[in-house]
């Protein structure tokens, strides 16, 4: 039987400007190329899981506009079930304004639009899909009450929860209790534990996050790899050596791959290594959804296949 993943999350159109560097406060900076890419953490992670071989359903909202129609078409073409994606009147589809600089690093500012209309009622209407899924993926680009309702449904159904707590600045650590797998980058981890100095090590951040209740914690570190902590064992994963073109979709590639492989029963450490490979491959290409790798590409970079063998 195929692995099933349900994503409750954001859907955006990304407006991307390329520049040599980031603009300083108050500065007008002339950039280079401009692109529009389908994106949003929810949409990206849904496609990432689909390309890794999962059957994926997406719960979310788009506006009644051309971008919403385009996002529906893109997701359908990627094999994502969008029956539970609602079109909201008098709302625009979410927009991500992205700056990508010469070394591939990026900043993103989001105008949420219709994503803020995704409600607990939308989640209730998707309870069957959440309950039937092996893993539920959540992020923090939807209203908190929507995520909390999705978590409640998943727990009652025995569906594992992967929470990508991004953005993290307005989240309470209390939300993390009962999460099966927490995935954050270093900045998000620091925000959640209140580390304003940046002096806490990645391993220290993982330990502190684990104290809030998630069963497992992954802190992603970009070009430095990732750390994984299961409450007892701490493991560091080195990054894959690739040329970074655009890091926009890397974190979402990581999450989609990790959710799929854990749903299949691939051991955590092997799944995290494969997720690092997926994130690395996404960084070698421009865009968000356009950059997400297939399972074959991930396994080629790993030099081996990803198969279930235990916990």
pLDDT in tens, 174-217: 899 989 999 999 999 999 999 988 899 999 999 999 999 999 99
In a domain, 251, yes or no: yes
- Among residues 196, 221, 211, the alpha carbon closest in space to that of 272 is found at 221
In a domain, 92, yes or no: no
Tokens standing for 34? Answer: 């401009």
Range of the domain at 155: 42-61+120-302
Pairing of strands 12-18, 94-100: parallel
- The pLDDT assigned to 257 comes to 98
Of 14, 134, 246, 252, catalytic: 252
- The pLDDT assigned to 248 comes to 82
Its pTM stands at 0.92
Phi–psi pair at 220, nearest 5 degrees: -85, 145
Q: What is the pLDDT of residues 87-129, one digit of tens each?
A: 999 999 999 899 999 988 889 898 999 999 999 999 999 999 9
Looking at the structure of the chain, the number of domains it has is: 1
252 catalytically annotated: yes
Is the pLDDT score of 310 beyond 80?
Answer: no
- The pLDDT assigned to 306 comes to 67
Q: What is the pLDDT of residues 228-283, one digit of tens each?
A: 999 999 999 999 989 888 888 899 999 999 999 999 999 998 999 999 999 999 99
- Give the strands of the sheet with 234-237, arranged side by side: 81-88, 55-63, 4-8, 135-139, 160-164, 181-185, 216-220, 226-229, 234-237
- The pLDDT assigned to 309 comes to 54
In a domain, 11, yes or no: no
In a domain, 232, yes or no: yes
In a domain, 242, yes or no: yes
Phi–psi pair at 2, nearest 5 degrees: -70, 150
Q: What is the pLDDT of residues 145-172, one digit of tens each?
A: 999 999 999 999 999 999 999 999 778 8
Is the pLDDT score of 132 beyond 70?
Answer: yes
Write out the H or E segment, with its range, that includes residue 69: helix 66-77
Q: End-to-end distance of the chain based on CA atoms, in angstroms?
A: 19
Q: What is the pLDDT of residues 17-54, one digit of tens each?
A: 999 999 999 999 999 999 998 999 999 999 999 999 99
* Domain of residue 280, CATH code: 3.40.1190.20
In a domain, 295, yes or no: yes
């Amino acid at each position: 039987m195929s692995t099933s993943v349900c994503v409750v999350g954001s859907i955006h159109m990304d407006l991307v400007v390329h520049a040599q560097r980031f603009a300083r406060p108050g500065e007008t900076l002339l950039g280079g190329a401009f692109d529009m890419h389908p994106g949003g953490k929810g949409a990206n992670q849904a496609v990432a899981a689909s390309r890794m071989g999962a059957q994926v359903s997406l719960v979310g909202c788009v506006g009644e506009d051309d971008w919403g129609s385009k996002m529906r078409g893109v997701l359908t073409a990627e094999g994502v079930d969008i029956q539970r994606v609602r079109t909201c009147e008098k709302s625009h589809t979410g927009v991500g304004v992205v700056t990508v600089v010469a070394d591939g690093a990026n900043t993103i500012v989001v105008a949420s639009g219709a994503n803020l209309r995704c409600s607990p009622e939308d989640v209730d209407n998707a309870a069957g899909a959440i309950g039937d899924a092996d893993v539920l993926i959540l992020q923090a680009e939807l209203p908190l009450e929507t995520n909390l309702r999705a978590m409640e449904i998943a727990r009652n159904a025995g569906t594992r929860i992967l929470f990508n707590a991004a953005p993290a600045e307005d989240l309470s650590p209390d939300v993390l209790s009962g999460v099966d797998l927490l995935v954050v980058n270093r900045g998000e981890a620091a925000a959640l534990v209140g580390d304003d100095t940046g002096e806490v090590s990645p391993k220290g951040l993982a330990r502190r996050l684990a104290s809030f209740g998630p069963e497992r914690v992954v802190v992603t570190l970009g070009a430095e790899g990732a750390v994984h902590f299961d409450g007892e064992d701490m493991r560091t994963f080195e990054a894959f050596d690739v040329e970074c073109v655009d890091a926009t979709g890397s974190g979402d590639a990581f999450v989609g791959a990790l959710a799929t492989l854990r749903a299949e029963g691939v051991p955590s450490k092997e799944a995290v290594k494969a997720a690092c490979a997926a994130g690395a491959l996404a960084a070698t290409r421009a865009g968000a959804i356009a950059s997400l790798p297939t399972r074959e590409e991930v396994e080629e970079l790993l030099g081996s296949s990803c198969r279930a063998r235990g916990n």
